[in-house]
Amino acid sequence: MSRVTLTQFLIEQQRNENHIPADLRLLIEVVARAVKTISVHVGKGAVAGVLGSAETENVQGEVQKKLDVIANELLLHANEWGGHLAAMASEELEGPSLIPNRYPKGEYLLVFDPLDGSSNIDVNISVGTIFSVLRCPEGVVDPTAEAFLQPGRTQVAAGYAVYGPSTMLVLTVGTGTHGFTLDREFGAWVLTQPDMQIPPDTREFSINASRARLWEAPVARYISELQAGTEGPRGQDFNMRWVASMVADVHRIMTRGGIFLYPLDERNRKNGGHLRLLYEANPMSFLVEQAGGVASTGRERVLDLQPTGLHQRVPVILGSRNEVERVVAYHREAL
């Protein structure tokens, strides 16, 4: 049986669809190779001595895990020499990482969260990597932070890797969302879930219920209706799923539907929300929309937001279309 690899898929996108240029194809392949290496480190865990704290803090003031640092360095080093990038930005770094002068520069910007959900590493729960590709603004030779401040709708590619029982890479280049599984014996990414589609309806929701006392009225109303089950206004039972790794929670939704909420609340309001717009919200929203889902802050489409800083935070509500639109309608009614 013929198998479609990531390379073949990208070449077909370049050749037949005429959708992506060669430089973008090569850039995605470099990211995919780095993800393979991260997968090896994650898979070895305590055997390789990579668990536990690195005893350092990132720019967010969060204590870094050893694998946070390793994954960040792997992505930086893998992508700095290929000639496809003008600069990179990582959730772990305060400012952009420029391409060393000894290497040629390209026309793209790479943005990434090297290891999403890293608080789960030490308990062997799925974690992941999220990335986004933007075009470098025309005429910009040495990109500053401002070059990255583009609305999510301008992304030319986005993806995530989930390091679970199998390692998967879920990718969009603007022609749908497609899932690839890593064949470890052959070292190849194999297309296993072409044209992923999020069902418009669902009976699963994903939210950190420990923050219920902090929620705004529209979210509190929505979740209370789900929890009321068959006796409530929705007339059916809903199940809650929460991994505390955005990659794992979104991958479940991408596979079988659901709604993910990390809304604005009384504690994160001063920061504008919890999730990072450039590193998490934008790439995930692009992937979800390409799979037929919806992504909103509750008040507006995520991909229409104009970023104001590299580490800007926003509320995120995404997943099955009909459920997200219900939450958005509740926000609208509360105005």
At 145, phi and psi to the nearest 5?
-55, -35
Q: How far apart are CA 122 and CA 92, in angstroms?
A: 19
Task: Consult the annotation and say whether 101 binds a ligand.
Answer: no
Residue 121 lies in a domain: yes
72-76, 139-143, 228-232: range with lowest mean pLDDT: 139-143
- pLDDT value, residue 242: 96
Positive or negative torsion for Cα 35, 57, 132, 207: positive
Range in 64-78, 130-144, 258-272 the model is least confident about: 64-78
Q: According to the model, what pLDDT value does residue 45 have? A: 77
State the residue for tokens 């470099």.
30
Evaluate if residue 54 carries a pLDDT over 60. Answer: no
Place of tokens 């990390």: 262
If asked whether residues 214 and 188 sit together in one domain, one would say no
Window from 9-18, 107-116, 153-162, 268-277 with minimum mean pLDDT? 9-18
- Are 60 and 168 in a shared domain? yes
Average pLDDT over residues 220-235: 98
Confidence of residue 282 (pLDDT cuts 50, 70, 90): very high
Under the banding of pLDDT at 50, 70 and 90, the label for residue 59 is low
Residue 166 shares a structural domain with residue 287 = no
**pTM for the whole structure:** 0.95
The answer to whether position 237 is within a domain reads: yes
Task: Tell me whether residue 199 is in a domain.
Answer: no
Choose one of 193, 217, 251: the last residue of a domain.
Answer: 193
User: Could you say which of 136, 168, 193 is where a domain stops?
Assistant: 193
Same domain, 107 and 208: no
19 vs 42 pLDDT, higher one: 42
- My answer on whether 301 and 174 are in the same domain is no
Residues 187 and 229 in one domain: no
Residues 53, 110 within the same domain: yes
118 labelled ligand-binding: yes
Residue 289 pLDDT: 98
In a domain, 163, yes or no: yes
- For 212-222, the pLDDT digits (tens) are 999 999 999 99
Q: Which of 143, 158, 193 is the last residue of a domain?
A: 193
6 annotated as a binding-site residue: no
CATH code where residue 189 lies: 3.30.540.10
pLDDT at 63: 57
**pLDDT over 60 (residue 119):** yes
Query: Which of 121-125, 242-246, 253-257 is the least confident region?
Result: 121-125
Residue range 134-154, pLDDT digits in tens: 999 999 989 999 999 999 999
Task: Tell whether 144 and 251 lie within a shared domain.
Answer: no
Q: What is the pLDDT of residues 186-201, one digit of tens each?
A: 999 999 999 999 999 9
Give me the pLDDT at residue 5, please.
Answer: 97
166 and 223 in a common domain:
no
**Is 91 known to sit in a ligand binding site?**
yes
- Do 163 and 46 have their domain in common? yes
Residue-number span of the structural domain to which 265 is assigned: 204-334
Q: Residue 117 annotated as binding?
A: yes
* Percent of the chain's residues with pLDDT above 70: 95
Is 198 within a domain? no
42 closest CA partner among 184, 183, 164, 191: 164
pLDDT at 61: 61
Q: Are residues 177 and 251 in the same domain?
A: no
pLDDT at 53 over 90: no
Q: Where are the alpha helices (DSSP H) in the chain?
A: 6-15, 22-44, 66-79, 217-227, 246-256, 282-290, 321-334
**pLDDT above 60 (res 295):** yes
228: CATH: 3.40.190.80
- Stretch among 5-14, 15-24, 105-114, 166-175 having the lowest mean pLDDT: 15-24
Identity of the residue numbered 292 = G
pLDDT at 146: 97
> What's the total number of domains in the chain?
2
pLDDT of residue 49: 72
In angstroms, the CA 40 to CA 290 distance is: 29
Residue 97 marked ligand-binding:
no
166 and 224 in a single domain? The answer is no
119 is in an annotated binding site: yes
| pLDDT of 122 | 84
Residue 115 in marked binding region: yes
- Tell me, what's the pLDDT at 152? 98
Q: Report the alpha-carbon distance of residue 156 to residue 137 in Å, rounded.
A: 13
